[in-house]
Amino acid sequence: MLEQPREGLTELLLAPGERAELIIAVGGQHSVESGQSAQQAVLTAAVYDRSKVAMSHGSMPPDSAQALADVRFEPAAAGASQASSRALPASLRAIASFGAPAAHQSVVFSEKMDRPALHHAGASRNGMRAGMAFMINGATFDPARITLTSRCGQVEHWTIENRTDMDHPFHLHGTQFQVLERQPGEGGAATPEPYRAWRDTVNVEPAETVRIATVQQSAGLRIFHCHLFEHEDLGMMGTLRVI
């Protein structure tokens, strides 16, 4: 949920689990060549470089771009009245920023590859290759282990650090959060998030650190994990206890 609309976007990265509402304006933009109003809009899923796991220089070939929607509009008949232009509002909803944090949490994504096992013919676990482990804070998921503990109603800043060479969409159950800033690896400067929004998933790129603010309002057990399910199933999930 956005505080303000983001106008003029021509592409938007959505990691698994993320959602977006799109408004496509047609009829108001004129072609330079023809002078005619635009009467078609195509929504395309473009190729995304997932490094070694999904591109031609890695272990899998890239997916091709795919048209998800091709919407065509007929021009109004001559003499027909035109609907008035509807501008997006300057504000969609009020989203208050969190106050100072009462606690900090740290989540570190890492991986472990046993290359001999990866290349062993027929080696698999639950339909996936053996020899692969995706970890949070140095351990694969154990349902009997509490990874982190939070307190109800307490503002927390979470630091999510990706120490792997592939993307990991971080997903938190039980509440939503605001992304505060992103910091690339190798000593890069942190950049504040340019817009305020309520989110439950954020993509963390290789070597990137993302900082979020959040509050849990209900006691109990919930999970946080990578929203690429093959990574989650190979261990990249933790249990949060809220007291």
Band (pLDDT 50/70/90 cuts) for residue 113 is: confident
Residues 233, 168: Cα–Cα separation, whole Å = 13
pLDDT digits (tens, 9 = 90+) for 148-193: 999 999 999 999 999 998 999 999 999 999 999 999 987 789 999 9
CA angle, 36 then 40 then 46, to 5°: 130
Residues 218, 142: Cα–Cα separation, whole Å = 23
pLDDT digits (tens, 9 = 90+) for 26-69: 665 444 454 555 577 888 888 887 666 543 444 555 667 888 88
State the pLDDT at residue 54: 47
State the pLDDT at residue 32: 45
| Overall average pLDDT of the 74-99 stretch | 74
State the pLDDT at residue 198: 95
| E strands, the chain, in order | 40-45, 66-72, 103-113, 124-125, 128-129, 132-136, 148-150, 156-162, 168-172, 177-183, 191-192, 201-204, 209-214, 220-226, 237-242
Q: Domain 103-242, CATH 1.20.120.1200 — does that match?
A: no
Q: Which residue has the higher pLDDT, 224 or 187?
A: 224
pLDDT digits (tens, 9 = 90+) for 119-136: 555 555 555 556 789 999
Give me the percent of the chain exceeding a pLDDT of 90. 49
Instruction: Classify the C-alpha dihedral 156-204-106-134 as positive or negative.
Output: positive
State the pLDDT at residue 127: 53
The rounded mean pLDDT for the chain is 83
Give me the percent of the chain exceeding a pLDDT of 70. 76
State the pLDDT at residue 71: 83
